[in-house]
Structure 1
Amino acid sequence: MQTIAERINSALEGITQVATSVHRPPNSVKLLAVSKTKPVSDIIEAYEAGQQMFAENYVQEGVEKVQELAHLTDIEWHMIGPIQSNKTKVVAEHFHWVQSVDREKVARRLNDQRPDNLPALNVCIQLNIDDEDSKSGVKSGELDGLVQFIESQEKLCLRGIMAIPKANPSEEEQALTLGKLKELYDHYHKSLANFDTLSVGMSSDMNAAIKNGSTMVRIGTAIFGKRG
Protein backbone atom coordinates (compact mmCIF):
# COMPACT_ATOMS: atom_id res chain seq x y z
CA MET A 1 0.00 0.00 0.00
CA GLN A 2 1.40 3.37 -1.00
CA THR A 3 1.26 6.17 1.54
CA ILE A 4 -0.54 9.43 0.78
CA ALA A 5 2.87 11.14 0.53
CA GLU A 6 3.99 8.61 -2.09
CA ARG A 7 0.78 9.09 -4.08
CA ILE A 8 1.23 12.87 -4.05
CA ASN A 9 4.78 12.42 -5.35
CA SER A 10 3.47 10.10 -8.08
CA ALA A 11 0.81 12.65 -9.09
CA LEU A 12 3.40 15.46 -9.23
CA GLU A 13 5.75 13.27 -11.27
CA GLY A 14 2.87 12.49 -13.65
CA ILE A 15 2.09 16.19 -14.05
CA THR A 16 5.75 16.97 -14.75
CA GLN A 17 6.04 14.18 -17.31
CA VAL A 18 2.92 15.16 -19.27
CA ALA A 19 3.58 18.91 -19.11
CA THR A 20 7.15 18.41 -20.31
CA SER A 21 5.96 16.20 -23.18
CA VAL A 22 3.97 19.15 -24.57
CA HIS A 23 6.69 21.72 -23.85
CA ARG A 24 4.96 23.26 -20.83
CA PRO A 25 6.79 24.10 -17.60
CA PRO A 26 5.69 21.65 -14.85
CA ASN A 27 4.88 24.54 -12.50
CA SER A 28 2.24 25.76 -14.99
CA VAL A 29 -0.08 23.00 -13.69
CA LYS A 30 -1.20 23.04 -10.03
CA LEU A 31 -2.26 19.96 -8.09
CA LEU A 32 -5.52 20.36 -6.16
CA ALA A 33 -6.08 17.49 -3.70
CA VAL A 34 -9.79 16.61 -3.48
CA SER A 35 -10.34 15.59 0.13
CA LYS A 36 -14.14 15.22 0.19
CA THR A 37 -15.38 12.42 2.49
CA LYS A 38 -11.82 11.85 3.74
CA PRO A 39 -10.84 12.33 7.40
CA VAL A 40 -8.84 15.31 8.62
CA SER A 41 -5.97 12.91 9.44
CA ASP A 42 -5.57 12.23 5.68
CA ILE A 43 -5.44 15.96 4.94
CA ILE A 44 -2.77 16.43 7.62
CA GLU A 45 -0.76 13.57 6.11
CA ALA A 46 -0.96 15.20 2.67
CA TYR A 47 -0.11 18.61 4.14
CA GLU A 48 2.96 17.18 5.89
CA ALA A 49 4.04 15.84 2.49
CA GLY A 50 3.99 19.40 1.14
CA GLN A 51 0.46 19.63 -0.32
CA GLN A 52 -1.21 22.96 0.47
CA MET A 53 -4.23 23.15 -1.87
CA PHE A 54 -7.31 21.13 -0.90
CA ALA A 55 -10.82 20.93 -2.34
CA GLU A 56 -14.13 20.03 -0.77
CA ASN A 57 -17.47 19.26 -2.46
CA TYR A 58 -19.91 19.51 0.45
CA VAL A 59 -20.33 22.80 2.28
CA GLN A 60 -20.92 21.59 5.85
CA GLU A 61 -18.16 18.98 5.73
CA GLY A 62 -15.79 21.47 4.14
CA VAL A 63 -16.44 24.22 6.68
CA GLU A 64 -15.88 21.79 9.56
CA LYS A 65 -12.51 20.80 8.11
CA VAL A 66 -11.49 24.43 7.49
CA GLN A 67 -12.31 25.24 11.12
CA GLU A 68 -10.53 22.18 12.51
CA LEU A 69 -7.37 22.95 10.53
CA ALA A 70 -7.45 26.73 10.98
CA HIS A 71 -4.06 26.56 12.73
CA LEU A 72 -2.49 25.52 9.40
CA THR A 73 -2.63 29.03 8.00
CA ASP A 74 -0.99 28.26 4.64
CA ILE A 75 -3.62 25.77 3.49
CA GLU A 76 -5.65 27.07 0.53
CA TRP A 77 -9.24 25.80 0.57
CA HIS A 78 -11.30 25.41 -2.62
CA MET A 79 -15.05 24.73 -2.78
CA ILE A 80 -15.72 22.71 -5.93
CA GLY A 81 -19.23 21.38 -5.29
CA PRO A 82 -22.63 22.94 -6.05
CA ILE A 83 -23.70 25.70 -3.66
CA GLN A 84 -27.28 26.39 -2.65
CA SER A 85 -27.93 30.08 -2.14
CA ASN A 86 -28.66 29.54 1.59
CA LYS A 87 -25.10 28.20 2.05
CA THR A 88 -23.22 31.08 0.42
CA LYS A 89 -22.52 32.92 3.71
CA VAL A 90 -20.43 30.17 5.33
CA VAL A 91 -18.63 29.53 2.04
CA ALA A 92 -17.79 33.24 1.66
CA GLU A 93 -16.51 33.30 5.24
CA HIS A 94 -14.31 30.18 5.15
CA PHE A 95 -12.97 29.42 1.67
CA HIS A 96 -10.21 31.02 -0.39
CA TRP A 97 -11.62 29.83 -3.73
CA VAL A 98 -15.04 28.86 -5.09
CA GLN A 99 -14.79 26.99 -8.39
CA SER A 100 -18.47 26.16 -8.78
CA VAL A 101 -20.09 29.55 -9.41
CA ASP A 102 -22.79 28.91 -12.01
CA ARG A 103 -25.30 31.77 -11.65
CA GLU A 104 -25.54 35.44 -10.81
CA LYS A 105 -27.51 34.89 -7.60
CA VAL A 106 -24.73 32.81 -6.05
CA ALA A 107 -22.03 35.23 -7.25
CA ARG A 108 -23.91 38.22 -5.81
CA ARG A 109 -24.42 36.55 -2.44
CA LEU A 110 -20.78 35.42 -2.21
CA ASN A 111 -19.71 39.00 -2.94
CA ASP A 112 -22.13 40.56 -0.46
CA GLN A 113 -21.29 38.05 2.29
CA ARG A 114 -17.50 38.07 1.92
CA PRO A 115 -16.15 39.56 5.19
CA ASP A 116 -14.46 42.96 4.84
CA ASN A 117 -11.32 41.75 6.62
CA LEU A 118 -10.64 39.05 4.01
CA PRO A 119 -9.15 39.50 0.54
CA ALA A 120 -11.40 39.16 -2.51
CA LEU A 121 -12.75 35.64 -2.96
CA ASN A 122 -11.16 33.85 -5.91
CA VAL A 123 -13.86 32.34 -8.14
CA CYS A 124 -14.09 30.18 -11.22
CA ILE A 125 -17.18 29.86 -13.35
CA GLN A 126 -18.36 26.28 -13.66
CA LEU A 127 -19.03 25.61 -17.32
CA ASN A 128 -21.28 22.76 -18.44
CA ILE A 129 -19.13 22.24 -21.50
CA ASP A 130 -20.97 19.17 -22.81
CA ASP A 131 -24.49 20.47 -22.03
CA GLU A 132 -25.28 17.51 -19.76
CA ASP A 133 -28.60 17.71 -17.91
CA SER A 134 -27.11 15.91 -14.90
CA LYS A 135 -24.39 18.52 -14.34
CA SER A 136 -24.29 22.00 -12.87
CA GLY A 137 -22.70 24.85 -14.75
CA VAL A 138 -23.52 27.57 -17.25
CA LYS A 139 -23.76 26.80 -20.93
CA SER A 140 -21.17 28.31 -23.24
CA GLY A 141 -23.63 30.89 -24.59
CA GLU A 142 -24.31 32.21 -21.06
CA LEU A 143 -20.65 32.46 -20.08
CA ASP A 144 -20.01 36.02 -21.21
CA GLY A 145 -22.88 37.47 -19.19
CA LEU A 146 -21.70 35.79 -16.00
CA VAL A 147 -18.09 36.86 -16.65
CA GLN A 148 -19.21 40.48 -16.92
CA PHE A 149 -21.34 40.26 -13.79
CA ILE A 150 -18.56 38.75 -11.64
CA GLU A 151 -16.08 41.32 -12.94
CA SER A 152 -18.41 44.02 -11.58
CA GLN A 153 -18.36 42.59 -8.03
CA GLU A 154 -15.84 44.27 -5.71
CA LYS A 155 -15.18 41.31 -3.40
CA LEU A 156 -14.84 38.65 -6.10
CA CYS A 157 -11.76 38.00 -8.21
CA LEU A 158 -12.58 36.06 -11.37
CA ARG A 159 -9.75 33.58 -11.85
CA GLY A 160 -11.01 31.25 -14.57
CA ILE A 161 -13.18 28.37 -15.72
CA MET A 162 -13.86 25.00 -14.09
CA ALA A 163 -15.38 22.08 -15.98
CA ILE A 164 -16.21 18.41 -15.50
CA PRO A 165 -16.22 16.88 -19.00
CA LYS A 166 -18.38 13.91 -19.93
CA ALA A 167 -17.35 10.60 -18.34
CA ASN A 168 -15.83 7.94 -20.62
CA PRO A 169 -15.82 9.95 -23.85
CA SER A 170 -14.34 8.70 -27.08
CA GLU A 171 -10.93 10.17 -27.94
CA GLU A 172 -12.61 12.35 -30.55
CA GLU A 173 -15.24 13.65 -28.10
CA GLN A 174 -12.59 14.33 -25.47
CA ALA A 175 -10.38 16.26 -27.89
CA LEU A 176 -13.37 18.35 -29.03
CA THR A 177 -14.46 19.18 -25.46
CA LEU A 178 -10.99 20.02 -24.20
CA GLY A 179 -10.28 22.07 -27.34
CA LYS A 180 -13.45 24.14 -26.77
CA LEU A 181 -12.49 24.75 -23.15
CA LYS A 182 -9.00 25.89 -24.12
CA GLU A 183 -10.40 28.26 -26.73
CA LEU A 184 -12.76 29.88 -24.21
CA TYR A 185 -10.03 30.07 -21.58
CA ASP A 186 -7.57 31.69 -23.99
CA HIS A 187 -10.15 34.30 -25.00
CA TYR A 188 -10.64 35.55 -21.43
CA HIS A 189 -7.04 35.00 -20.37
CA LYS A 190 -5.98 37.54 -22.99
CA SER A 191 -8.52 40.17 -22.01
CA LEU A 192 -8.85 39.90 -18.20
CA ALA A 193 -6.01 40.65 -15.79
CA ASN A 194 -6.53 37.87 -13.21
CA PHE A 195 -7.98 35.17 -15.48
CA ASP A 196 -5.26 32.51 -15.17
CA THR A 197 -6.99 29.24 -14.27
CA LEU A 198 -8.39 26.42 -16.39
CA SER A 199 -9.47 23.87 -13.79
CA VAL A 200 -10.08 20.63 -15.65
CA GLY A 201 -8.78 17.08 -15.35
CA MET A 202 -9.26 14.46 -12.62
CA SER A 203 -7.58 11.15 -11.83
CA SER A 204 -9.03 9.53 -14.97
CA ASP A 205 -8.38 12.26 -17.56
CA MET A 206 -5.51 14.28 -16.08
CA ASN A 207 -3.06 13.58 -18.90
CA ALA A 208 -5.41 14.65 -21.69
CA ALA A 209 -6.41 17.77 -19.75
CA ILE A 210 -2.80 18.87 -19.24
CA LYS A 211 -2.04 18.30 -22.92
CA ASN A 212 -4.96 20.61 -23.69
CA GLY A 213 -3.95 23.50 -21.47
CA SER A 214 -5.30 22.72 -17.99
CA THR A 215 -3.60 24.83 -15.32
CA MET A 216 -5.13 22.97 -12.35
CA VAL A 217 -5.98 19.29 -12.00
CA ARG A 218 -8.34 18.06 -9.27
CA ILE A 219 -7.11 14.73 -7.96
CA GLY A 220 -8.90 12.72 -5.26
CA THR A 221 -8.80 8.95 -5.71
CA ALA A 222 -5.19 8.84 -6.93
CA ILE A 223 -4.08 10.60 -3.72
CA PHE A 224 -6.48 9.45 -1.01
CA GLY A 225 -7.70 6.14 -2.44
CA LYS A 226 -11.26 5.10 -3.25
CA ARG A 227 -14.06 6.62 -1.25
CA GLY A 228 -15.86 4.26 1.08
Structure 2
Amino acid sequence: MTTIANNLQQVLGRIAHACAAAGRDPASVSLLAVSKTFGAEAVLQAAAAGQRAFGENYIQEGVEKIAAVGGGFVPALQWHCIGPIQSNKTRLVAEHFDWAHTVDRLKTAERLAAQRPDHLPPLQVCIQVNMDGGPTKSGVAPADTLELVRAVAKLPRLRVRGLMSIPDHAPDFETQLALHQGAKRLFDQIAALGEPGLEHFDTLSMGMTADLEAAIQAGSTLVRVGTGIFGGRTYPAA
Protein backbone atom coordinates (compact mmCIF):
# COMPACT_ATOMS: atom_id res chain seq x y z
CA MET A 1 0.00 0.00 0.00
CA THR A 2 1.38 3.41 -0.95
CA THR A 3 1.87 6.14 1.64
CA ILE A 4 -1.00 8.12 0.13
CA ALA A 5 -3.29 5.09 0.21
CA ASN A 6 -2.31 4.43 3.83
CA ASN A 7 -2.86 8.07 4.79
CA LEU A 8 -6.22 8.03 3.05
CA GLN A 9 -7.33 5.04 5.11
CA GLN A 10 -6.20 6.76 8.30
CA VAL A 11 -8.20 9.89 7.45
CA LEU A 12 -11.27 7.81 6.64
CA GLY A 13 -10.78 6.13 10.00
CA ARG A 14 -10.67 9.53 11.72
CA ILE A 15 -13.90 10.50 9.96
CA ALA A 16 -15.61 7.28 11.01
CA HIS A 17 -14.44 7.71 14.61
CA ALA A 18 -15.59 11.34 14.70
CA CYS A 19 -18.97 10.36 13.29
CA ALA A 20 -19.36 7.65 15.94
CA ALA A 21 -18.53 10.18 18.66
CA ALA A 22 -21.13 12.58 17.22
CA GLY A 23 -23.77 9.88 16.76
CA ARG A 24 -23.69 10.32 12.99
CA ASP A 25 -23.63 7.90 10.07
CA PRO A 26 -20.14 7.97 8.46
CA ALA A 27 -21.89 8.04 5.09
CA SER A 28 -23.19 11.53 5.97
CA VAL A 29 -19.67 13.01 5.67
CA SER A 30 -17.77 13.15 2.39
CA LEU A 31 -14.01 13.51 2.05
CA LEU A 32 -12.49 16.04 -0.34
CA ALA A 33 -8.80 15.32 -0.97
CA VAL A 34 -7.02 18.67 -1.35
CA SER A 35 -4.33 18.05 -3.93
CA LYS A 36 -2.94 21.58 -4.42
CA THR A 37 0.81 21.68 -5.12
CA PHE A 38 0.88 17.91 -5.64
CA GLY A 39 1.19 16.49 -9.14
CA ALA A 40 -1.07 14.26 -11.18
CA GLU A 41 0.75 11.15 -9.92
CA ALA A 42 -0.38 11.87 -6.34
CA VAL A 43 -3.98 12.23 -7.53
CA LEU A 44 -3.70 8.96 -9.45
CA GLN A 45 -2.42 7.19 -6.33
CA ALA A 46 -5.33 8.50 -4.28
CA ALA A 47 -7.79 7.60 -7.04
CA ALA A 48 -6.35 4.09 -7.20
CA ALA A 49 -7.09 3.81 -3.47
CA GLY A 50 -10.73 4.75 -4.11
CA GLN A 51 -10.79 8.53 -3.62
CA ARG A 52 -12.96 10.31 -6.18
CA ALA A 53 -13.36 13.96 -5.06
CA PHE A 54 -10.38 16.32 -5.29
CA GLY A 55 -10.02 19.98 -4.31
CA GLU A 56 -7.75 22.53 -5.96
CA ASN A 57 -6.93 26.00 -4.60
CA TYR A 58 -4.96 27.26 -7.59
CA ILE A 59 -7.20 27.35 -10.63
CA GLN A 60 -4.61 27.18 -13.42
CA GLU A 61 -2.77 24.36 -11.64
CA GLY A 62 -6.06 22.56 -11.19
CA VAL A 63 -7.01 22.84 -14.86
CA GLU A 64 -3.64 21.46 -15.92
CA LYS A 65 -3.95 18.61 -13.43
CA ILE A 66 -7.47 17.73 -14.58
CA ALA A 67 -6.14 17.40 -18.13
CA ALA A 68 -3.11 15.38 -17.00
CA VAL A 69 -5.13 12.94 -14.90
CA GLY A 70 -7.76 12.44 -17.60
CA GLY A 71 -10.95 10.42 -17.39
CA GLY A 72 -11.63 6.73 -17.35
CA PHE A 73 -12.42 6.41 -13.64
CA VAL A 74 -15.63 4.78 -12.46
CA PRO A 75 -17.23 6.61 -10.84
CA ALA A 76 -15.71 9.66 -12.52
CA LEU A 77 -13.39 11.94 -10.57
CA GLN A 78 -15.03 15.09 -9.21
CA TRP A 79 -13.10 18.37 -9.17
CA HIS A 80 -13.80 21.12 -6.65
CA CYS A 81 -12.44 24.66 -6.84
CA ILE A 82 -11.77 25.68 -3.24
CA GLY A 83 -9.52 28.69 -3.81
CA PRO A 84 -10.26 32.35 -4.54
CA ILE A 85 -11.95 32.94 -7.90
CA GLN A 86 -10.65 36.08 -9.58
CA SER A 87 -12.71 37.62 -12.38
CA ASN A 88 -10.18 36.56 -15.01
CA LYS A 89 -10.37 32.93 -13.86
CA THR A 90 -14.15 32.39 -13.78
CA ARG A 91 -14.21 30.89 -17.27
CA LEU A 92 -11.64 28.26 -16.31
CA VAL A 93 -13.72 27.29 -13.27
CA ALA A 94 -16.95 27.24 -15.27
CA GLU A 95 -15.49 25.09 -18.02
CA HIS A 96 -13.39 22.60 -16.06
CA PHE A 97 -14.63 22.15 -12.48
CA ASP A 98 -17.68 20.35 -11.09
CA TRP A 99 -17.94 22.41 -7.90
CA ALA A 100 -17.03 25.92 -6.75
CA HIS A 101 -16.88 26.36 -2.95
CA THR A 102 -15.76 29.97 -2.70
CA VAL A 103 -18.50 32.08 -4.26
CA ASP A 104 -18.93 35.16 -2.06
CA ARG A 105 -20.09 37.81 -4.53
CA LEU A 106 -23.00 37.93 -6.95
CA LYS A 107 -20.71 39.20 -9.72
CA THR A 108 -18.60 36.05 -9.49
CA ALA A 109 -21.70 33.85 -9.62
CA GLU A 110 -23.07 35.75 -12.62
CA ARG A 111 -19.84 35.22 -14.55
CA LEU A 112 -19.78 31.51 -13.68
CA ALA A 113 -23.38 31.14 -14.83
CA ALA A 114 -22.76 32.97 -18.10
CA GLN A 115 -19.61 30.97 -18.83
CA ARG A 116 -20.79 27.48 -17.84
CA PRO A 117 -21.05 25.46 -21.08
CA ASP A 118 -24.54 24.26 -21.91
CA HIS A 119 -23.40 20.68 -22.45
CA LEU A 120 -22.14 20.35 -18.88
CA PRO A 121 -24.30 19.69 -15.80
CA PRO A 122 -24.98 22.70 -13.55
CA LEU A 123 -21.94 23.92 -11.63
CA GLN A 124 -22.44 22.95 -7.99
CA VAL A 125 -21.90 26.03 -5.82
CA CYS A 126 -21.25 26.68 -2.14
CA ILE A 127 -21.41 30.19 -0.73
CA GLN A 128 -18.31 31.04 1.30
CA VAL A 129 -19.17 32.66 4.63
CA ASN A 130 -16.75 34.66 6.78
CA MET A 131 -18.07 33.40 10.10
CA ASP A 132 -15.52 35.00 12.41
CA GLY A 133 -15.41 38.36 10.68
CA GLY A 134 -11.72 38.58 9.85
CA PRO A 135 -11.28 41.77 7.79
CA THR A 136 -8.72 40.23 5.44
CA LYS A 137 -10.63 37.00 4.90
CA SER A 138 -12.82 36.07 1.96
CA GLY A 139 -16.48 35.29 2.45
CA VAL A 140 -19.81 37.01 2.72
CA ALA A 141 -20.88 38.26 6.15
CA PRO A 142 -23.33 35.94 7.91
CA ALA A 143 -26.01 38.65 7.93
CA ASP A 144 -25.77 38.97 4.13
CA THR A 145 -25.60 35.26 3.32
CA LEU A 146 -29.29 34.55 2.75
CA GLU A 147 -29.60 37.46 0.30
CA LEU A 148 -26.66 36.14 -1.72
CA VAL A 149 -27.93 32.55 -1.61
CA ARG A 150 -31.30 33.66 -2.98
CA ALA A 151 -29.70 35.69 -5.77
CA VAL A 152 -27.35 32.91 -6.86
CA ALA A 153 -30.17 30.36 -6.78
CA LYS A 154 -31.94 32.33 -9.52
CA LEU A 155 -29.04 32.08 -11.96
CA PRO A 156 -29.01 29.52 -14.79
CA ARG A 157 -26.49 26.69 -14.99
CA LEU A 158 -25.66 26.93 -11.29
CA ARG A 159 -26.99 24.84 -8.41
CA VAL A 160 -26.64 26.19 -4.88
CA ARG A 161 -25.59 23.27 -2.69
CA GLY A 162 -24.75 24.92 0.62
CA LEU A 163 -22.18 26.88 2.58
CA MET A 164 -18.40 26.78 2.95
CA SER A 165 -16.44 28.12 5.92
CA ILE A 166 -12.74 28.51 6.78
CA PRO A 167 -12.57 29.83 10.35
CA ASP A 168 -9.37 31.10 11.89
CA HIS A 169 -7.09 28.46 13.38
CA ALA A 170 -8.02 27.51 16.93
CA PRO A 171 -5.73 25.39 19.12
CA ASP A 172 -8.33 23.46 21.08
CA PHE A 173 -11.37 21.36 20.26
CA GLU A 174 -13.94 23.46 22.12
CA THR A 175 -12.94 26.67 20.35
CA GLN A 176 -12.94 24.89 16.99
CA LEU A 177 -16.36 23.45 17.75
CA ALA A 178 -17.86 26.83 18.65
CA LEU A 179 -16.63 28.37 15.39
CA HIS A 180 -18.09 25.54 13.32
CA GLN A 181 -21.39 25.54 15.21
CA GLY A 182 -22.02 29.11 14.06
CA ALA A 183 -21.81 28.02 10.42
CA LYS A 184 -24.05 25.04 11.13
CA ARG A 185 -26.74 27.27 12.65
CA LEU A 186 -26.68 29.54 9.61
CA PHE A 187 -26.82 26.54 7.28
CA ASP A 188 -29.79 25.08 9.12
CA GLN A 189 -31.66 28.39 9.08
CA ILE A 190 -31.35 28.67 5.31
CA ALA A 191 -32.08 24.99 4.64
CA ALA A 192 -35.25 25.17 6.76
CA LEU A 193 -36.74 27.84 4.50
CA GLY A 194 -37.28 25.33 1.72
CA GLU A 195 -37.34 28.07 -0.88
CA PRO A 196 -37.43 27.51 -4.66
CA GLY A 197 -33.92 26.98 -6.01
CA LEU A 198 -32.71 25.51 -2.74
CA GLU A 199 -33.97 21.98 -3.26
CA HIS A 200 -30.38 20.72 -3.25
CA PHE A 201 -29.13 22.78 -0.31
CA ASP A 202 -27.45 19.89 1.51
CA THR A 203 -23.71 20.62 1.80
CA LEU A 204 -21.80 22.20 4.67
CA SER A 205 -18.15 22.32 3.60
CA MET A 206 -15.99 22.85 6.68
CA GLY A 207 -13.18 21.14 8.51
CA MET A 208 -9.62 20.34 7.47
CA THR A 209 -6.80 18.07 8.64
CA ALA A 210 -6.39 19.81 12.01
CA ASP A 211 -10.04 20.29 12.96
CA LEU A 212 -12.12 17.71 11.12
CA GLU A 213 -13.31 16.11 14.37
CA ALA A 214 -14.76 19.40 15.63
CA ALA A 215 -16.29 20.12 12.22
CA ILE A 216 -18.00 16.73 12.12
CA GLN A 217 -19.25 17.17 15.68
CA ALA A 218 -20.77 20.49 14.59
CA GLY A 219 -22.44 19.01 11.51
CA SER A 220 -20.08 19.26 8.53
CA THR A 221 -21.08 17.14 5.55
CA LEU A 222 -17.78 17.57 3.67
CA VAL A 223 -14.27 17.86 5.09
CA ARG A 224 -11.35 19.17 3.03
CA VAL A 225 -8.14 17.28 3.86
CA GLY A 226 -4.80 17.82 2.14
CA THR A 227 -1.82 17.39 4.45
CA GLY A 228 -3.37 14.38 6.16
CA ILE A 229 -3.50 12.55 2.82
CA PHE A 230 -0.65 13.90 0.70
CA GLY A 231 1.80 15.03 3.37
CA GLY A 232 3.48 18.39 3.97
CA ARG A 233 3.64 20.88 1.13
CA THR A 234 6.61 22.65 -0.40
CA TYR A 235 5.60 25.98 -1.89
CA PRO A 236 7.62 27.60 -4.69
CA ALA A 237 9.66 30.65 -3.70
CA ALA A 238 7.91 33.96 -4.33
**Runs of at least 5 residues in structure 2 that lack an aligned partner in the other structure:** none
Contact 2:177/2:215 (<8 A) preserved: no
TM-superposed CA distance for 1:70, in Å, is 2.5
Q: Which of 204, 207, 225 is the aligned partner of 1:201? A: 207
Q: Which of 134, 137, 141 is the aligned partner of 2:143? A: 141
What letter matches 2:108 in structure 1? V
Contact 2:176/2:215 (<8 A) preserved: no
CA distance in 2, matches of 1:199, 1:22: 17
**Runs of at least 5 residues in structure 1 that lack an aligned partner in the other structure:** none
The 5 A counterparts of 1:48-197 are: 48-73=48-73, 74-169=76-171, 171-190=173-192, 191=194, 192-197=198-203
TM-superposed CA distance for 1:67, in Å, is 1.4
Deviations 1:7-36 (A, max 9, x none): 101111110111012111001000000000
TM-superposed CA distance for 1:46, in Å, is 0.2
CA distance in 2, matches of 1:72, 1:51: 14
The runs of at least 4 consecutive aligned structure 1 residues that moved more than 3 Å come to: 169-173
CA distance in 2, matches of 1:72, 1:94: 16
CA distance in 1, matches of 2:174, 2:71: 46
TM-score w.r.t. length of structure 2: 0.92
Structure 2 counterpart of 1:213: 219
Moved more, 186-195 or 172-181: 172-181
**Number of residues paired by the alignment?**
228
Structure 2 counterpart of 1:223: 229
1:40 paired to 2:48: no
CA distance 1:41–1:171, shift in 2 (3 Å):
closer
CA distance in 2, matches of 1:23, 1:72: 36
Deviations 1:54-105 (A, max 9, x none): 0000111011011112224500000000010111011100000000101011
TM-superposed CA distance for 1:174, in Å, is 2.7
Moved more, 86-95 or 68-77: 68-77
Structure 1 counterpart of 2:8: 8
Question: SS of the residue aligned with 2:14?
Answer: helix
What letter matches 1:93 in structure 2? E
TM-superposed CA distance for 1:170, in Å, is 5.2
Identical aligned residues as a percent: 48
TM-superposed CA distance for 1:171, in Å, is 4.8
TM-superposed CA distance for 1:181, in Å, is 0.7
What letter matches 1:180 in structure 2? G
1:26 paired to 2:26: yes
What letter matches 1:208 in structure 2? A
CA distance 1:164–1:28, shift in 2 (3 Å):
same
CA distance in 1, matches of 2:170, 2:123: 33
